[in-house]
Amino acid sequence: MKKFLFRLYLILMKFVASFSKINSKSIVILNGAGRSGSNGYLFAKYMKKNHSDYEVTVVEPWPSSHLSFSIWRKIGQAEFIMTTHQPFKIHSQQINIQFWHGVPLKRMGIMANNTERKADLRNVKLWQKNADIVCSSSDLYETMMSACCAIETSKYQKVGFPRIDVLKKPVITKKQLLHDLFKQVDDQAQIGIYMPTFRYELEDGQIIKQIKAGNFLVLPDFDIEELNQELKKQHRYLLIKLHPYEQQLVGNFTSQYSQIAFLNDDYLFKYECDLYELLGATSFLITDFSSIYFDYLALDRPIIFITNFLSQYQKKRGLLIGPYPEVVPGPCVKSQKELVAVLAARDDYQAKRHYWYNLTNQVQNISACEAIFKLMNKD
């Protein structure tokens, strides 16, 4: 019922906004990605710094039923509407540039196991009607996106993604991260980050219960004191960045341990930065089925995959590539014992990382933001 009412709300507000006259050099970015690798937020920062003659409005959170009429007028007036999730625009004359928010790894849309056909077909129509330009990084990206959303090939433009532009240029140093989040000084420090996917959709109450109890890795042999000691031996520090929806459910965590800290959104907002603007200060990534690992390949640093919910996730939603343990460019672990062992082991996955990086990113030596700006001004 809520979804139906929200669709009615959108129809009404689109009608109201349709009376606005389009202004050239006006951009609205509908940002549904928060500060977790938001192409929209990062492109807005680029535009405000390099092309101040454009009026750029970032609307967040999006979608929302609490936007003011003045914001809806700006959406109706924009020459370009840029989206991080479903494509959207008011007038047919407006140009929608679809950034999306990650290389698809999990099945979605018409490919997913847990969606309704009626909603999937409605989504396909939205892409066909509203998406004018779909930013892309590779043929593989286009194949996976089209498999899920039936996007026509003519819509794709290989211009890359703004979030990749900032990966190698961290705005917060490793030294500052150690000081701010761990209260430590360590010349040998290696900071890793753990970023899980959207585990709530598994509809397993025990998972969220364990997270709330402090078992953020949701491993059967989890022992935070032991993990902290093992990390300390290796001069490793672990940042925990929960999925935004999980963070809403459990709230902001704090840690009393020397080697473990939680990266909450308030830290990112404090420094007016996106998560990707500090990833370059990290030395390794731990994830499960989050597509962040495709982006992290640009840093060519070790990636570890926690797969104790693999079969459950494949059954509930499904993955677009597999068999998962064979194709991912890093070791897979199912317990804390295995995780600790892998952290101490030699990295033997560089060649596999390079293979997947070249496969998923065919525009490695360009600025995505500059390429997108040129595309906007192409006659």
Kindly state whether residues 76 and 9 are assigned to the same domain.
Answer: yes
Do residues 141 and 57 share a domain? yes
**More confident position, 19 or 328:** 328
Domain count, the chain: 2
**Same structural domain, 33 and 58:** yes
What is the pLDDT at residue 249?
Answer: 64
**CATH code for position 181:** 3.40.50.12580
Say yes or no: 154 and 94 in one domain: yes
Q: Residue 44 has what DSSP assignment?
A: H
Per residue in 191-241, pLDDT tens?
999 999 877 666 777 887 888 888 889 999 999 999 999 999 999 999 999
Residue-level pLDDT at 1: 65
For residues 7-44, b (16+ Cβ closer than 10 Å) or e, as one string?
A: eeeeeebbeebeebeeeeebbbbbbbbbbbbbbbbbbb
Write out the two tokens for 164.
């990749």
| Per-residue model confidence (pLDDT) at position 24 | 87
pLDDT digits (tens, 9 = 90+) for 234-286: 999 999 998 776 766 666 677 789 999 999 888 999 999 999 999 999 999 99
Mean pLDDT of 321-344: 96
Query: According to the model, what pLDDT value does residue 252 have?
Result: 65
Stated length of the chain = 379
User: Within this chain, do residues 236 and 296 fall inside the same structural domain, yes or no?
Assistant: yes
Domain containing 122 — which CATH number? 3.40.50.11820
Q: Do 144 and 267 belong together in one domain?
A: no
Residue 195 forms part of a structural domain: yes
Residue range of the domain that includes 271: 174-360
For the whole prediction, is pTM greater than 0.75?
Answer: yes
Strand order across the beta sheet in which 23-30 lies: 55-59, 23-30, 78-83, 95-98, 133-136, 156-158
Tell me the pLDDT tens digit for each residue of 281-292: 999 999 998 999
- Top pLDDT among 24 and 253 is at 24
Q: Is the dihedral of CA 367, 373, 375, 379 positive or negative?
A: negative
105 and 201 belong to one structural domain:
no
**92 and 225 share a domain?**
no
**Cβ atoms within 10 Å of 110's Cβ, excluding its own:** 16
Burial of 151 (0-12, 13-18, 19+ CB in 10 A): buried
In whole angstroms, what separates CA 340 from the centre of its chain? 26
Tell whether 207 is covered by a domain.
Answer: yes
